[in-house]
Amino acid sequence: MFNHNSRRMINCNRILMTVSLAVFISCHPDGKKAEIAQTEKQIKKKLATFADFKKIKGVDNVQDVPFQLFTKLDSVRFFVAPNKDAAFMKIPYGKLDNYYGFEEFDDFYSIHYSIENNISNSIEAFVLKSEFTASFDLTLKGVDLYEIRSSTYMDKPDFKDKSFAKYGTVEEVGSDEYQAAFPSKIDEVFTKNPDVKLKGNNWISSENGQEQKIQQYENLETEDGLLSYRYIGHSNFLGLEIFREESIDANNSYYVFYNPKEGFSMDLLTSGYPHIVPSINRVSSVSNNNDVGSDLLVAQYLPESKKQINQLYVNFTGFKFGDERKAFWINHDTLYAEVYPTNSAPANGKKQKPSYIKIQLRSNIF
């Protein structure tokens, strides 16, 4: 049986529990409210609007941009300063938006961004390196090497099929495989003809004491603007001299072929450095397209008429060629080349990261 002292103790305990519970109930909500308020204050402090960013003059010439930035995220963060604790805003990534990079920091890039692509409404913002890739750091990872814009096979253009698969395969290879394949190169190596010399502003060919003008060197006036010519070398297989024709106004170039005795060979022309395979009368070239990506041309040379028949032309969209001279055939079907992603570009002393590909044509394509 309980005595009076026991009852008093139980009553006291009940009172203490009631008081403690009351204190807990009354104090805890206030503490929680204070914690939530502090968190909301921190969040508000970190959230920014476009009005918080420095207004700047927009980019009106892409050539003035040190580098561009690219991302595969659906949304990115703009910080008001190159600090992870700085205020920021999150915006959806737009495929038509340009992210022009100007400076590089430890964890950030500074960019010039035109709001809604309005150049007069531009800001400076800072973006995380973890969310963007600079143009000089781009690689072929995730690039569809088979994607093409158009092709022409045996004079039949095709603008519908957007894959190279029907012509052959394209794959990225390591630099070791590329270097190991180089000794198997079967392209003709051009040599300098000692009879071809630059005299004044003219390229001339001298034979048996007789001089024959081949072409003017610089500032040749034509309907298409001013042209200049740089001597590449002599092709023993073609028996022709090769020059690079450069347009000063149009900013493009072609490789043209001359017989000093007969003049310019109108029916032989490549847009890129010529890769000639004498064993199958092939004249081919790789070059970068002025609109997008790069071009591959494969043609057959007809020795009797000194003409070329274009067999295959392809405009790739996922990559552009590096040094055109570094492409080479190792057999009639396999071409190796140094390439870069389409949007790749060097910046501020930083070189692009070269990649290497192997293109294999179907064995029965020609």
Contact indicator for 214, 196 with CB cutoff of 8 Å: yes
pLDDT in tens, 109-132: 999 999 999 999 999 999 999 999
What's the pLDDT at 45? 56
pLDDT in tens, 306-320: 899 999 999 999 999
Q: Which helix (H) or strand (E) holds 16?
A: helix 4-46
State the pLDDT confidence band at 12, using cuts at 50, 70 and 90: very low
Please enumerate in sequence order all residues whose Cβ is within 8 A of that of 227, keeping only pairs 6 or more positions apart, or say none.
220, 245, 246, 247, 248
pLDDT at 1 over 70: no
What's the pLDDT at 23? 38
Quick one: how far is CA 46 from the chain centroid?
Answer: 35
pLDDT at 237 over 50: yes
Handedness of CA 106, 109, 91, 343 (dihedral sign): negative
What's the pLDDT at 277? 97
Distance in angstroms (rounded) separating the CA atoms of residues 175 and 171: 13
Q: How far is CA 308 from CA 6, 186, 276, 287, in A?
A: 115, 19, 12, 18
Distance in angstroms (rounded) separating the CA atoms of residues 324 and 76: 37
pLDDT at 15 over 60: no
State the pLDDT confidence band at 107, using cuts at 50, 70 and 90: very high
Poorest-confidence range of 13-27, 107-121, 188-202? 13-27
Give the bridge partners for 49, in sequence order.
none
The pair of three-digit structure tokens given for residue 189, joined into one six-digit string: 């190596």
The share of the chain scoring above pLDDT 90, in percent, equals 75
Higher-pLDDT residue of 83 and 22 is 83
pLDDT at 76 over 50: yes
Task: For 81, list phi and psi in degrees, rounded to 5.
Answer: -150, 160
pLDDT at 183 over 60: yes
Residue type, 77: R
- Determine the Cα angle at 179 with ends 173 and 180, to 5°: 90
What's the pLDDT at 223? 84
Round to the nearest angstrom and report the end-to-end CA distance of the chain.
Answer: 111
What's the pLDDT at 96? 87
Handedness of CA 129, 130, 132, 135 (dihedral sign): positive
Please enumerate in sequence order all residues whose Cβ is within 8 A of that of 266, keeping only pairs 6 or more positions apart, or say none.
none
Distance in angstroms (rounded) separating the CA atoms of residues 168 and 335: 11
pLDDT in tens, 270-297: 999 999 999 999 999 999 998 999 999 9
pLDDT at 336 over 90: yes
Distance in angstroms (rounded) separating the CA atoms of residues 211 and 261: 10
Contact indicator for 143, 353 with CB cutoff of 8 Å: no
State the pLDDT confidence band at 30, using cuts at 50, 70 and 90: low
What's the pLDDT at 304? 86
